[in-house]
Amino acid sequence: MTDYVAKITDLHVRRPTFEVDGVSLTLSRGTVVGLVGPNGAGKTTVIRALLGLLVPESGGVEVFGRPAGAPQALARTGIVLDQPTAAPEWRVNSLGRRLAPFYPGWNSDRFSELLDRLSVPPGQRLGDLSRGQGVKCSLAVALAQSPELLILDEPSSGLDPASRRNIGDLIREFMLDPSHTVLFSTHITTDLDSLADELVVLVDGQIAYQGALLDAAEEFAMARGSGLAPTAPFISLERSGEQWSALIRMSDSAAFGPEVIIDSASIDDIVIHLASQRREVAA
């Protein structure tokens, strides 16, 4: 058994207004990988490639040792979108009967238990579910499949804190099995603080940062000051009136004077400033 469940190698996808350029990514067993970046960075394109929903111009995509989209790989993969993808007239409690033939590991008791735990009304039509209920229903469906790989594409955007906590708790329970893996794409980066092992930052279709989340916290810092821009090295700088803030390497922090405040960098800080740096280079 390999130590990874999925591997993307030098992925190139071209669209009229967008390009994913040379993305390589490995999803290791037993890890939660946070996939973040600005709108239009390519996160959903990467997920579609993993599911075999697009044909790239070049590059390889392998899931469980098979080409992306292979039935044997999809049967071991759970996917959570922001709304159920089944027919809107179906009722929630009919999903098990309809989906079980496609998933050898389908667990009807687990599905019922998750619907109850997440307060999803089983008799409701899918089209009548609220957005939050739709996400919870999608999560219940994905986990009832007994997957080894769980892919979440912006599941928590717009949800209340209690619902986001429910999602986080279920991910933690899922990861109690060391053979499981999660790819979590989100704009709400605070959801990753206590969940993610690895961080991948996509900017304009390219990987701007990839590594352990703890390493990112040790590699980057924020420098804040006022007046003239710093002469010490920085990655990207933003100004607001007389105030400025800059993403820096932690190893460069000693180069800034005592009047400069050095703080830890959040995931949001890293994403925003790496995107700014890419735009500055492109200009």
Domains and CATH numbers, the chain: 4-214 (3.40.50.300), 217-282 (no CATH)
Amino acid at 203: V
Q: Which helix (H) or strand (E) holds 43?
A: helix 43-50
Q: What is the pLDDT of residue 1?
A: 55
Q: How far is CA 10 from CA 47, 60, 205, 233, in A?
A: 15, 7, 12, 31
Q: What is the pLDDT of residue 82?
A: 62
pLDDT in tens, 32-70: 999 999 988 899 999 999 999 998 999 999 999 999 999
Cross-strand pairs, 248: 221
Q: What is the pLDDT of residue 37?
A: 92
Closest by CA to 153, choosing from 210, 205, 79, 207, is: 79
Given a cut of 80, whether residue 207 has pLDDT beyond it is yes
Lowest mean pLDDT among 77-91, 118-132, 224-238, 251-265: 77-91
Closest by CA to 208, choosing from 283, 267, 124, is: 267
Question: Between these two residues, 231 and 148, which has the higher pLDDT value?
Answer: 148
Q: What is the pLDDT of residue 283?
A: 47
Report residue 243 as tokens. 């105030």
The pLDDT > 90 percentage for the chain reads 67
Q: What is the pLDDT of residue 52?
A: 93
Q: What is the pLDDT of residue 171?
A: 94
pTM: predicted TM-score of the whole model, two decimal places: 0.92
DSSP string, 183-233: EEE-S-GGGGTTT-SEEEEEETTEEEEEEEHHHHHHHEEEEEEESSPPSS-
